[in-house]
Structure formats: structure tokens, C-alpha cells
Amino acid sequence: MTYDHPEFAGSLLHPKVLRPKDSATLILVRWDRGAPRILMGQRAGGHAFMPNKFVFPGGRLDPVDCRVRPARDLHPATLAKLLHRMRGGQSANRARGLAQAALRETWEEAGLLFGRNTVNEAPDLSGLVLFMRAITPPGRTRRYDSRFFVGDAEGISNLDRPVRQNEGELLTISWLTLEEIARLDLPLITIDALKRLQPFLAERRLPPPEIPASFQYFRGKTWVEDEIAA
């Protein structure tokens, strides 16, 4: 059975219910101009999942991500939220791996190094806050259990010197204001994340690590939202 949720309009359907893959996304905010700006990129039109949509950098968890030892660990509240309701049993290494996946994907897709000075350097995960979690509905060719992290762009060592070795999955990487982003073709979950983030940006701050994370997924045929508290 497939579910026609507007979040995934344009994505291909799959006749079987696929198991969601762990993935991670990083919402980066910079403050060096009048209005806060957020890193966004457009997915290529040929993708089976969310073609042409503007999204934050992110992607699937790789097993190697779980073997990376950080220079500084996740904030205890962030770690606790990642462990809460973790599919397949709680694993601190997998929790840290999800954070590392967000950093790795940001490097691969945008050429930016967050929490480190070189690709091979142990990362500083302490500046990442788990803000949201969402699971793709059944019936899609790709299903992800996505964790949305938020980070301050001050943690990027090469902020104005990105190294993009190829086009990758994201095109037209840009730092954009909320007003500029509002004119783009966005997934509903991205719109939702930005709406939740806006009150903090209005106060020129990011959400604190202890803030409960929104958790959205399908239960039966209904899109529901829970909270994950630290």
C-alpha cells in the first residue's frame, strides 16, 4: 500500500514497505550579516527521492561513521535524545555516528568542514543540537529515519573557502535568508523545520541542547508528531 503524502510529491512509489535507513541532516546558520542565513542546496531533477527540492545537506548513515571517535562528544542532552526510541536498540556509537554522518555529508555535498580543520581530524560534536526527527512514509523508493541537527556556522573552519570536488547530490549551494528561502520549492518537512527554528532566529540564537525534538512519522495512515525529550 502507498500513502499519498504531499511531503513526497514527485518522488517515485514502491510497491513494498521498505525499512527506513538511518540518515542525518545539518541545518547551518550564519550571523555575519543583518539577517541570519541558512545553508541550502537544490537536489537534481533526476533523483528518485524529492527531485528538484531545496534541502539542507545530509544523507545516509555509513557504518564507518559509527567508528569515528570525536575530539569532543555530543552534549549529554543531544546524546540522550538520539538514544531515545532508537530503532534496533540503543547504541551510543550509532548516536555519535549520526552526528558524524551529518558532518560528513556536509563536507561531501557542500565542501564545508564543521567541527574540524581537516577531513581526517577527529570532529568536535559538542556544537550539534538535535532539533527534529522524521521518518519517510511507506510506499516510497527511498525511506529514511532522518535526524535534523542544528549548528552555528562559526563552527565551520573553511566557512568562506568551501571545497566542492564535484557537483554531488546538491546543486547551487547558497547561504539564504528566510525570506529568500520562502520563494523556493521546499519539502514540507523543511518548511516545518524552518518554522520551528524561526522564533530562535528572531532572537538571534539557536535552540539549546535541552529543547525537546519534534518526532514525525506515520502511524497507520495518519501523520503524527511526538516529542523526544532529553
221 half-sphere exposure, CB direction, 13 A CA radius: 4
Q: What does the pLDDT look like over 113-141, one tens digit per residue?
A: 999 999 999 999 999 999 999 998 877 67
Report yes or no on 1 lying in a domain: no
What CATH number has the domain bearing residue 87? 3.90.79.10
Confidence of residue 41 (pLDDT cuts 50, 70, 90): very high
Q: Bridge-partner residues for 114, per DSSP?
A: 156
Report yes or no on 96 lying in a domain: yes
Confidence of residue 36 (pLDDT cuts 50, 70, 90): very high
Domain limits for position 54: 6-228
Looking at residues 71-76, what average pLDDT do you find? 98
pLDDT at 5: 42
Does the structure show a pLDDT above 80 at 208? yes
Buried b (16+ CB within 10 A) or exposed e, 8-37: beebeeeeeeeebebbbbbbbbbeeeeebb
Confidence of residue 205 (pLDDT cuts 50, 70, 90): very high
Looking at residues 16-39, what average pLDDT do you find? 92
Looking at residues 79-97, what average pLDDT do you find? 96
**Are 7 and 45 spatial neighbours (Cβ–Cβ below 8 Å)?**
no
Q: Which residues contact 141 (CB under 8 A, 6 or more apart)?
A: 11, 12, 13, 14, 18, 48, 49
Look at the chain and report how many structural domains it folds into. Answer: 1
Q: What does the pLDDT look like over 142-179, one tens digit per residue?
A: 789 999 999 999 999 999 999 987 666 678 899 999 99
Report yes or no on 103 lying in a domain: yes
pLDDT at 168: 62
Report yes or no on 62 lying in a domain: yes
